[in-house]
Structure 1
Amino acid sequence: MVVYMLIREQRDEPLSEQDADRIPLPPPATSWRALAVLTMMLLIAPKAFLPTKFSEPVTLVVVAMLKSLQWVMVMELVRKGFLTPLTTTSTFATSTLRTFHLQATTGRAEFVASVALISLLQTQRSIQKTHYNRRILSAVGCMFVLGLVVNQPMSDDHGLQGTWMSSLFAGNEPHPIELLVNDAREEFRSLVEGQSKTLPDAIAEYEKRYRMEPPPGFDQWFKLAIESNCTIVDNFDTIMQSLEPFWGITAKEMRARADMFTQIPLAKWALRNKQPTKLSDSLVLGGFNVVLNAWLDRFKDILPDMEITINGLAEPRVIVPNDRLDHLIRTCPRVDLTAADDQQRKPLEIMDLGKDRSWQIGTRSCPETSPSRSILLPAEEQGLQFIRNVTKSKDVCEAPEAAMSHAMFLAPYNLKVTDTLVPVFSHGKPSSSQDILYPSPDYIEGYQNGNYNETEDPLWENKTNQLYWTGSDTGGYASGDNWRHFHRQRFVDMVTNSNNEISILQRVKSGQFGKSTHWEERKQTMASLSNLVHVHFTSMDICTGAACFEEKKALPVGKGEERSAGYGSKFLFDVDGMGRTERYYRLLGSRSTVFKQTMYQEWHDDRIVPWVHFVPVSLGMGELPEILNFMAKDEKGQKIAKNIADAGRKWQQTALREEDMNLAFLRIMLEYARLTSDERDQSGMCPRGRTRVAGR
């Protein structure tokens, strides 16, 4: 309003020969009304339109001011007859407002700022022939400067102060982790805000994602999810992908195949006449049965009669060759309802790959053109590489290096698989496996047994500035020198051998006056970070012959420690064993920052966001020393690490509750019940986009 009054003080000037592009218009009396109306509209604007760096009242006022100022300028340009610069002024104002919605260090912010500056210059050229341009440009410039200032964090809450403003004016290059954190926060915000709030919205979102209607009982599931304050109701993509191949066989065939898997002892549960029944038991962890019984009993009035086969071990059980798998995910079978029910089937072929290389079998489901099956190795990326896409980093088909860097493919302890598509539920699996995912019961057990005690967990500020991990040598069966390539052994060796060469990023001054800085990769030894590490094995038992002796000689082995011992450290490492690890939720719920290295998919993959709730580490782990160096030694890194610790703890208590796992199990069972029901065969239901073919 002040700027508007300053502009209104300028008297109309007579037209001259230089003002050929001006069209005299009568001064309207609508400018003030436009200002008032637009201010009120923006004060009731939807929350999604507004930036989130301030409290909501401040945000509303600031954005309302800027938007109103934009329209005041438009009205004044029209009143003065400057029609040519209307479009450039509008582009400038829109671009400047857009800076509010972009995280400070993203390349998009620099691009939008460039658009705004170009539009400002175009506006100046259009009205430069009259001295009136000084008032217009002052008003326009105020908006741009205010947009830049507001886009900077006003406090240290995020540990990122003035990052792209300093880049713009001082040339300070942000650390790569800062960029990843900012993008991840935007992704997480979109994830949470995009969840369906009503049943019609949830149904529409389901049909959009999965190309079919939700299963029977979905409305009851959604009602329970809303009543239980479930934060995530739409994102179940990883689970749905594990179910997708089964649309390629009939429901009758699915049930028959489940009964064929008898060579390997697996647990089998049924829901019959609304009562849970344990048909067979081969679960290594006895507590699984307690949880499964409780799940089925809790939802017995929603679920139909059904049977499920459970894999209690860490390794997967089903790996289907790619040619068959591709057919299964592209087609639906034509069902012959008159076919006899007594058809004979060949016995399942079970391949025992325990204690031996499993790469050839473990990647048979990958396309022949994928990096893991191609004879051509992909070009190595230069410099330190931080994980940007966790889903891709865990894709076995895209990770040929896993053949010689993960114990599951070098010497798995107990890997027995079939290449026939059989419905088996596993609590974790590599991406190349066709097991069906479900929430691991040992997470539920951990909650119920009180594995985490808050009184044992100090505040972040009181923790030791170091990386902590202790554990056994689970992961692979060591013989000869194969253990040197196992993932756990490589991790322990990397961070405890002070002679290992590592890559570290250092901020280097540059520019004419040395005011700009950028990051350069430098080589050091691990000795420079040794004081930041508390890591050792607690046992070395999964080995044979000389391998046991060699491992103990080469790697640190210490006494076992209390479960709570790690809480005294700011950084906790979690790495695969023979499969996914049961300690993950307990670590996330602590006040420490979790570093996570895994090649296993789990049910929660669509709701935990890397660089927001945990720090992802690649299978090669070459970037791990720099992550530790930045987060332990750099002031911004410390703030980022603390924010990740806080966010992970809060999200574990929000979206990984026992109730969330209960309802995830129910949703999976509803999907599975539809897949195995006679109704599917009788109705001929098939997800959109698939082709119908003859088959069983």
Structure 2
Amino acid sequence: MSQKLTSELSELQSTASSRSVVDNITWSAGAALIFGVVVCYFATKRSELTSELLCWVLLPGVFAIVKRRRNVDGSVETLLPLVSSFTDSSANETPSSISLWIIAACIAISSVFRAEKGIIVLFPALAPLLAVGHRYLRPSAHAPAGYHMSFSSLLRHPILGTILTAILAIVALSEWDPIAYALSAAPVVALFVAYTLLTPPTSQQSRWFGGRWLVSVDIEAAAWPLSLRVAILLAIVLSGESYLTGLPGIDALETLVLGSAKTLMWYFTSQLARNCSWLVAAVAGTFSLLATRNPFMQQTDTRALITVGASLLSLVQVLYLLPKQAKARLTLSTLVAIPLLPYFSNLAAIHFAQSSALTHAVKHPVEMLIREANANFDGLLRNQSSTYPAAYAEYQRRYGFDPPDGFEEWYKFTRSHRSPIIDEFDMISEGIAPFLRISGQEVLDIMSAAYNEPDHELWSCTTSGQPAKTECSHHGRENDRNNAQFFNRITEKIPAALNLKFLLNHLDEPTVMIPPTSAHSTKPVITNRGGQRAWDVLTEYCSSRRGRASPTRAPTVETYGLPFVTDRKAAMDLCQHAEYSEIHGLFAAPESLRLTQGLVPVLSNGAPSTMGDILYPSTAYVEEDRFAYHSENDVDWDEKQNNVYWAGSTTGGHARPGEWYSLHRQRFVELAQNLKRRTFSYLREKDGMISRVASSFFNGRLYDVAFANVLQCDARACKEQRQYFASKPWASGDRPFRSRLVFDLDGNGISGRYYKLLASKSLPLKQTIIHEWHDERLLPWVHYIPVSQSMEELPELVFYLTSTEAGRRRAREVAEQGRQWFTDAFREIDVVIYMYRLLLELMRLQDPDRPAWQIDVG
């Protein structure tokens, strides 16, 4: 029987050789590589499971069609040198059900991990694992006797060569995240088990470990039962996900393309494995994975180069693993174009962009805005009052009434502590002014009424004595977010007797909506707008808020149509920007928004232009160590990466399925990761003329941006975002210091990390619609770089600051100015000075003997 089979095999191989079947080996290898590239290029977490299910539905049909064609043509497609492994009596048996289920489960596990986590960092380790496994399955696959070490022979060695390539590939793919590495081992182990069971053992070991049930599987012979099991498992997973998060959003075309490509990849890979081993499948998979990595999205030039190098090494190993009969294997070397063309195109695009950038820095809007802002800031500092009578007169001039009792002592305290700011406290006086329309007793009554309203999120605090002590209470909460501790820390430094009550907003979002003069009432109305569209109610009083409306001034800097922020106050005025209604989470779907409508003085950390919260410094800036700056964790400018960094959570709004794309954090990450096909605007100079041009060029290497956590979303919306965005491991709060540019934007309210970034040696890029207590002393283009809500100017802004000599110089200057100013004007004593003046105003406001004032505050 054995002699007959050997004779038939020899005849089969002779016939195959006479028909140039060796080209079919090369063909199978090339097709497996190309379809693997197609799969990796178009792969998305959204379509992973559905396309995998389609693949295993189609795969048995492909095997059946090819088998029928073989029978009709009377030809053999491959040399099948491994067929002998399946010719003994045990291997010809029907594969055991347990073997098929194990393979199916491993394939399903791998697909689920790709769909849920997208973790591929350890995938290259699959090849050396299989190489070691094949040592016991196919001893002849090892280095022959007389093996001599050289680089070429090293790559030929199945174990050492795959280990070298795997190390380089993992370096190219890695982010330092031990948890992710541990998780990414699961699909690697699963595929190792599956490929091992698909690999025939030697004829002397037909069954694994001598077991009765674990038998090698010929994927072609077992295509139908194996595919059925894989499909069942994937269908169960999809059904479970549909039950938990709703029916998945399926892109039919995407699923069809990916599913078809996976089918052909599995088919040609199986044919290649029959002539080599399943080791070649792992090496080919590594090539496909690395060759399709976008060079523009690599963090550094070195990372991009390592990625290309590792992909080329993988391709070389595929060639070495092909059998000697594959004479046309060198034709596969043309596939080097797959990683090399994008890489060199990337280099050429960057070079062209740099060479076509503005050569006259003085004409660039960034340069002009910085020059103008610095001149204005110098004037602001020169004009600060230097005597008490001057400060008193300036107060009257600005606000139309006298300062509160204790103002002279406050002025002396301010001067004694060398505050660079004396007069710029409009945020306090303008915030207090609307409440002066009611008497001091009415203020106390309305505060009490608001606190006794149901469904509020207000703390009632009392400060008294000298040094003053503060106690806060809430109907249903015990943790006051360090507010009492913050006030005690501040008031112990104030040399004045304080006796007052005030309300504190517990939530991140602001709360107070002040009605027009003719509509105000002493009875507050509290409504819960959490999770609801809030734009209409937040802009309801725009027509009557003349006092807070920012007059639009003619721009003094030519921006060539790009929305560089030329007037911060106007840019943050909601009444002038109806387009903001859909592009910020606070307006589209706030996570928790308790609106207090009425003349209720409430202290909050921040508020947009249309709201009436009285602003005070966030406790996060003073009390929370995670937001504190420690210089020993910073690095010098020259040692920082020349890019912009941000990582954070999907806070800032409650995400619902299909409605989260327009939220401000999601828009920023989508832009920085270049996930949406679009054109970008840049400024270019030709024949001495500067113009705005549209281009598809986007140097993702300048952006190290990702979400580290997905939350504040419905279950399905959370899943959609995890599938859409590339994620990062949660990093230390000091990680931004390794980049020259650090981005900061609103969350549900203010960003607590802002001061840490200002104090660092990096340059903050700030996007916000929320006013804070420091707005008058922190100037855009002097201490930080502002970014518009649309972010349309961001690609040009980042390119200028990182990729031109003039821009890099200005970036460093602004970073140093902001750092120095933070040291001068954001000391803890500066916070005390602000709070001292605020508490004096609040005591006057709630003085029971104070009558209502007839003042026009708009």
TM-score when scaled to structure 1? Answer: 0.66
| 1:441 aligned to which of 613, 619, 627 | 619
Q: Post-superposition shift, 1:498?
A: 5.5
The answer as to 2:578 corresponding to 1:408 is: no
Mapping 1:108-507, distance limit 5 Å = 174-261=363-450, 262=452, 263=454, 264-274=456-466, 275-281=468-474, 282=477, 286-299=481-494, 302-322=496-516, 324=518, 348-367=524-543, 383-446=561-624, 451-497=628-674, 500-507=677-684
Alpha carbons 1:424, 1:436 under 8 Å: kept: yes
SS in 2 for 1:367: helix
1:188–1:284: structure 2 CA closer, same or farther, 3 Å change rule? Answer: farther
Alpha carbons 1:470, 1:537 under 8 Å: kept: yes
Any gaps of 5 or more consecutive residues in structure 1?
1-166, 329-344, 374-380, 511-516, 692-696
In the aligned structure 2, how far is the partner of 1:420 from the partner of 1:439? 23
Give 1:573's aligned amino acid: F
Alpha carbons 2:513, 2:612 under 8 Å: kept: yes
The answer as to 2:598 corresponding to 1:598 is: no
In the aligned structure 2, how far is the partner of 1:172 from the partner of 1:669? 47
Amino-acid identity (%): 33
1:572-591 deviations in Å (ceiling 9; x for gaps): 00010001111111000111
1:412-443 deviations in Å (ceiling 9; x for gaps): 01101122111110011111111111111211
In the aligned structure 2, how far is the partner of 1:530 from the partner of 1:244? 47
**Residue of structure 1 in register with 2:800 after alignment:** 630
| 2:782 aligned to which of 607, 612, 621 | 612
In the aligned structure 1, how far is the partner of 2:591 from the partner of 2:842? 30
1:234-265 deviations in Å (ceiling 9; x for gaps): 00112222111111111110111111123214
The answer as to 2:778 corresponding to 1:589 is: no
In the aligned structure 1, how far is the partner of 2:514 from the partner of 2:737? 42
The answer as to 2:700 corresponding to 1:522 is: no
In the aligned structure 2, how far is the partner of 1:172 from the partner of 1:320? 46
Bigger helix share: 2
Alpha carbons 1:413, 1:475 under 8 Å: kept: yes
Give 1:384's aligned amino acid: L
**Residue of structure 1 in register with 2:822 after alignment:** 652
Give 1:240's aligned amino acid: S
SS in 2 for 1:534: strand
Alpha carbons 2:608, 2:770 under 8 Å: kept: yes
1:395–1:553: structure 2 CA closer, same or farther, 3 Å change rule? Answer: same
1:309–1:680: structure 2 CA closer, same or farther, 3 Å change rule? Answer: same
Aligned residues: CA RMSD: 2.6
In the aligned structure 1, how far is the partner of 2:361 from the partner of 2:853? 57
Alpha carbons 1:588, 1:649 under 8 Å: kept: yes
Alpha carbons 1:410, 1:482 under 8 Å: kept: no
Q: Post-superposition shift, 1:667?
A: 0.3
**Residue of structure 2 in register with 1:508 after alignment:** 685
Alpha carbons 1:295, 1:662 under 8 Å: kept: yes
Alpha carbons 1:283, 1:311 under 8 Å: kept: no
SS in 2 for 1:680: coil
In the aligned structure 2, how far is the partner of 1:354 from the partner of 1:534? 32
1:173–1:218: structure 2 CA closer, same or farther, 3 Å change rule? Answer: closer
In the aligned structure 1, how far is the partner of 2:361 from the partner of 2:490? 54
In the aligned structure 2, how far is the partner of 1:190 from the partner of 1:469? 34
In the aligned structure 2, how far is the partner of 1:409 from the partner of 1:398? 15
In the aligned structure 2, how far is the partner of 1:664 from the partner of 1:171? 42
Alpha carbons 2:621, 2:627 under 8 Å: kept: no
SS in 1 for 2:579: helix
1:533–1:581: structure 2 CA closer, same or farther, 3 Å change rule? Answer: same
SS in 2 for 1:637: helix
1:462–1:272: structure 2 CA closer, same or farther, 3 Å change rule? Answer: closer
In the aligned structure 2, how far is the partner of 1:354 from the partner of 1:171? 49
Q: Post-superposition shift, 1:272?
A: 3.4
In the aligned structure 1, how far is the partner of 2:652 from the partner of 2:386? 42
Alpha carbons 2:516, 2:545 under 8 Å: kept: no
1:154-205 deviations in Å (ceiling 9; x for gaps): xxxxxxxxxxxxx9xx998711111111110111001111111111111111
Give 1:657's aligned amino acid: R
Alpha carbons 2:472, 2:480 under 8 Å: kept: no
1:96-142 deviations in Å (ceiling 9; x for gaps): xxxxxxxxxxxxxxxxxxxxxxxxxxxxxxxxxxxxxxxxxxxxxxx
In the aligned structure 2, how far is the partner of 1:553 from the partner of 1:631? 32
Mapping 1:670-685, distance limit 5 Å = 670-681=840-851
Q: Post-superposition shift, 1:554?
A: 1.2
Give 2:376's aligned amino acid: E
Q: Post-superposition shift, 1:459?
A: 1.2
1:611-640 deviations in Å (ceiling 9; x for gaps): 010000011111111100111111111111
SS in 2 for 1:595: strand
In the aligned structure 2, how far is the partner of 1:598 from the partner of 1:369? 21
Q: Post-superposition shift, 1:314?
A: 1.0
In the aligned structure 2, how far is the partner of 1:277 from the partner of 1:476? 32
1:296-336 deviations in Å (ceiling 9; x for gaps): 3433x5244210111121111111334647x89xxxxxxxx
**Residue of structure 2 in register with 1:66 after alignment:** none
In the aligned structure 2, how far is the partner of 1:366 from the partner of 1:506? 35
| 2:705 aligned to which of 520, 531, 535 | 535
1:645–1:578: structure 2 CA closer, same or farther, 3 Å change rule? Answer: same
In the aligned structure 2, how far is the partner of 1:668 from the partner of 1:171? 47
Aligned length: 485
1:633-682 deviations in Å (ceiling 9; x for gaps): 1111111111110011001111111110111011011011111113422x
Give 1:316's aligned amino acid: P
Alpha carbons 1:319, 1:364 under 8 Å: kept: no
Q: Post-superposition shift, 1:356?
A: 0.9
Alpha carbons 1:365, 1:433 under 8 Å: kept: no
SS in 2 for 1:206: helix
Give 1:356's aligned amino acid: Q
In the aligned structure 1, how far is the partner of 2:581 from the partner of 2:368? 31
In the aligned structure 2, how far is the partner of 1:608 from the partner of 1:173? 24
Alpha carbons 2:616, 2:773 under 8 Å: kept: yes
In the aligned structure 1, how far is the partner of 2:409 from the partner of 2:598? 34
**Residue of structure 1 in register with 2:197 after alignment:** none
SS in 1 for 2:661: helix
1:494-522 deviations in Å (ceiling 9; x for gaps): 11026543434344232xxxxxx232222
1:9-50 deviations in Å (ceiling 9; x for gaps): xxxxxxxxxxxxxxxxxxxxxxxxxxxxxxxxxxxxxxxxxx
Does 466-475 or 263-272 show the bigger shift? 263-272
Alpha carbons 1:270, 1:277 under 8 Å: kept: yes
Q: Post-superposition shift, 1:363?
A: 1.0
